[in-house]
């Protein structure tokens, strides 16, 4: 090897080793005066993010809270936050979230997309109170819907009873739920009357076509009479039912139909 080439190779090696040494020494000195590694203060940054979270729910709340919770989890995994620091930060997020979600529940309009976001965070933070409010919203909607398909007295009473459990704040802040709950009793009685009592009365009115034995007629008549008493007890009046019920000729049926035995 020529002497000139050897010298060039030697210079390259010296420069390379020098650069490596420089990078390592600078890395070990970042942020310190004594050469020890100084971690970036994530606790301060996360605390600042937590403090900036809004206490009233808005369009950015979901993403902001998710981001902070993710930062806490990552920082804890990197050991940049110890368990106590992470727990304290998450507790503070939970308190702010509880206040923000409570503010949302005072709105007159509840959006299911918002509720989905709130429930997601509540489940992660194990905020059972917030979760139960959202579950109650859907429970109330189910009762409102089921009140329109009642066919028995027990179904009517069940709907009215369950509606009463939701007929209070915070659910009644939501206009949709408040109005729906206020209509449950009438809707349930309307449904029961139209699905059960009126068809039964129609059958009883045309007894010659529908019955062979008086015993069968009498059984259905007693059901219709019980229904009429139930409607009276519920302080409910239905002109169509009253007309149909009033057209039943019990005495004529007793004369025209044969006894079963």
152-174 pLDDT, tens digit each? 999 999 999 999 999 999 999 99
Residue 260, pLDDT score:
82
pLDDT digits 0-9 by tens, 173-231: 999 999 999 999 999 999 999 999 999 999 999 999 999 999 999 999 999 999 999 99
What's the pLDDT tens digit per position in 227-249? 999 999 999 999 999 999 999 99
- Quickly state the pLDDT bin for 75 (edges 50, 70, 90): confident
pLDDT attached to residue 38: 45
Q: What is the band of 37 on the pLDDT scale with cuts at 50, 70, 90?
A: very low
Per-residue pLDDT of 108-149, as tens digits, reads 999 999 999 999 999 999 999 999 999 999 999 999 999 999
For residues 97 and 113, give the distance between their C-alpha atoms in angstroms, rounded to a whole number. Answer: 17
Q: Which of 7-16, 41-50, 103-112, 201-210 has the lowest mean pLDDT?
A: 7-16
For the chain, the DSSP string reads --HHHHHHHHHHHHHHHHHHHHHHHHHHHTT-SSS------HHHHHHHHHHTS-SS--TTHHHHHHHHHHHHHHHHHTTSS-HHHHHHHHHHHHHHHHHHHHHHTTSS---HHHHHHHHHHHHHHT-HHHHHHHHHHHHHHHHHHHGGG--SHHHHHHHHHHHHHHSSTTGGGSHHHHHHHHTHHHHHHHHHIIIIIHHHHHHHHTHHHH-SBHHHHHHHHHHHHHHHHHHHHTT---HHHHHHHHT--HHHHHHHSBP--
Per-residue pLDDT band for 68 (boundaries 50, 70, 90) equals very high
Checking if the pLDDT of 1 tops 70, the result is no
Residue 67 has pLDDT above 80, yes or no: yes
């Amino acid at each position: 090897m020529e002497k000139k080439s050897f010298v060039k190779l030697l210079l390259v090696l010296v420069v390379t080793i020098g650069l490596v040494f420089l990078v390592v020494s600078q890395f070990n000195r970042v942020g310190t005066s004594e050469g020890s590694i100084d971690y970036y203060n994530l606790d301060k940054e996360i605390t600042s993010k937590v403090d900036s979270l809004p206490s009233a729910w808005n369009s950015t709340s979901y993403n902001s809270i998710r981001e902070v919770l993710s930062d806490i989890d990552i920082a804890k995994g990197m050991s940049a936050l110890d368990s106590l620091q992470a727990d304290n930060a998450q507790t503070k997020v939970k308190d702010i979230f509880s206040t923000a979600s409570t503010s949302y529940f005072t709105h007159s309009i509840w959006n299911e997309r918002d509720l989905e976001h709130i429930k997601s965070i509540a489940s992660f933070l194990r905020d059972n109170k917030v979760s139960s409010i959202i579950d109650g919203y859907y429970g109330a909607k189910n009762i409102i819907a089921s009140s329109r398909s009642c066919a028995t007295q027990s179904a009517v009473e069940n709907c009215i009873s369950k509606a009463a459990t939701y007929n209070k704040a915070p659910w009644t802040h939501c206009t949709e739920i408040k109005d729906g709950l206020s209509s449950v009793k009438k809707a349930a009685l309307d449904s029961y009357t139209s699905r059960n009592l009126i068809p039964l009365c129609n059958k009883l009115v045309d007894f010659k076509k529908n019955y062979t034995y008086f015993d069968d007629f009498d059984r259905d008549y007693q059901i219709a009479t019980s229904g009429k008493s139930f409607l009276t007890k519920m302080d409910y009046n239905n002109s169509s039912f009253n007309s149909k019920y009033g057209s039943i000729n019990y005495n004529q049926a007793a004369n025209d139909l044969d006894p079963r035995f």
